[in-house]
Amino acid sequence: MNHDHDHDHDLIPLTPEEEATCQRLGWTTKAVLDDFDPDHPIVMHPLYNQHGDYITDSRGGVDYIRWLLRHGIHEPLLPSPVGEEGPRTCAIGRCTIGEHAGMWLGWSHRASRAFGIGSRVEKTDLAYVAPSAELSQMQAIHFWSGDTRLNVRIDCEGVDEEGVPGCWVAWETADTVPNTKMHGQTQRYFWHYPRPWGRGAWTAETDDDARQMACDFARNMD
């Protein structure tokens, strides 16, 4: 059920019909001055869903808006409840058009995937969320393993600068990389444990399960 989407990047303004559809769905937009750089202020046009959650910029994200409309995603939603850690941009929604109609889609700027009752998540899937520290460490080793990384291992557990728990993954760089200065050098990366723990490898038995898988996919892709 993998389904990658690449946007058109054409920036052709929405047609009056497309704008009317967005309004009918309850999506709203307004001009906002971004003066982070006082010498070069930018006028943004954020688009919000029916609940006031951010979807995209209504001018710069027209190709993304069209992608939502093509899939009949009438209510884009946040993949994380308010107050819980996670993306604050809508990244899941129920598809109502096409081969995935009735299923939950999770997406990012890189890819999307549909989930329904009977969908299965395995350890190597992008929707996998480990249920324990041990399995999260195994996931980290699998993620970082590759031809140019030797002896990938868990160095130690710890917390990051914000106190979020995880573990340090370490490896030696292979002599096959172009940069000779890196040959044999030890590299380390801090791997965050999921918050909260997930359900590991599992099968969606209900519609809520399918929605959770879409959330897990979107959060992992963020």
27-63 pLDDT, tens digit per residue, is: 999 899 888 888 888 889 999 999 999 999 998 899 9
pLDDT higher than threshold 50 for residue 5: no
Q: What is the pLDDT of residue 101?
A: 97
Q: Which two tokens stand for residue 157?
A: 């557990």
Question: By the 8 A CB rule, do 76 and 68 touch?
Answer: yes
For residue 89, CA distances in Å to 47, 147, 166 come to: 10, 35, 25
For residue 115, which amino acid is it? Answer: F
Cα 14 to Cα 122: distance, rounded to the nearest angstrom: 39
pLDDT higher than threshold 90 for residue 8: no
pLDDT higher than threshold 90 for residue 6: no
Question: By the 8 A CB rule, do 80 and 93 touch?
Answer: no
In this prediction the pTM is 0.84
Using the structure block, give the residue that is written with the tokens 């999307």: 112
Q: What is the pLDDT of residue 1?
A: 39
Q: 217 pLDDT band (50/70/90 cuts)?
A: very high
Of 69, 87, 80, nearest to 27 (Cα)? Answer: 69
Q: What is the mean pLDDT of the chain?
A: 91
61-96 pLDDT, tens digit each: 999 999 999 999 999 999 987 667 777 899 999 999
Provide the greatest CA pair distance for the chain: 59
pLDDT higher than threshold 80 for residue 4: no
**Three-point CA angle 89, 21, 48, nearest 5°:** 25
**Three-point CA angle 189, 4, 84, nearest 5°:** 55
Quote helix, strand, coil % in the chain, to nearest 5: 25, 30, 50
Cα 81 to Cα 113: distance, rounded to the nearest angstrom: 20
More confidently predicted of 20 and 86? 20
Q: What is the pLDDT of residue 134?
A: 97
More confidently predicted of 62 and 5? 62
Cα 82 to the center of its chain, rounded Å: 16
Cα 127 to Cα 121: distance, rounded to the nearest angstrom: 6
Query: In the chain, where are the structural domains located?
Result: 2-125+199-221, 133-192
More confidently predicted of 70 and 11? 70
Taking the chain, what is the end-to-end CA distance rounded to the nearest angstrom?
A: 19
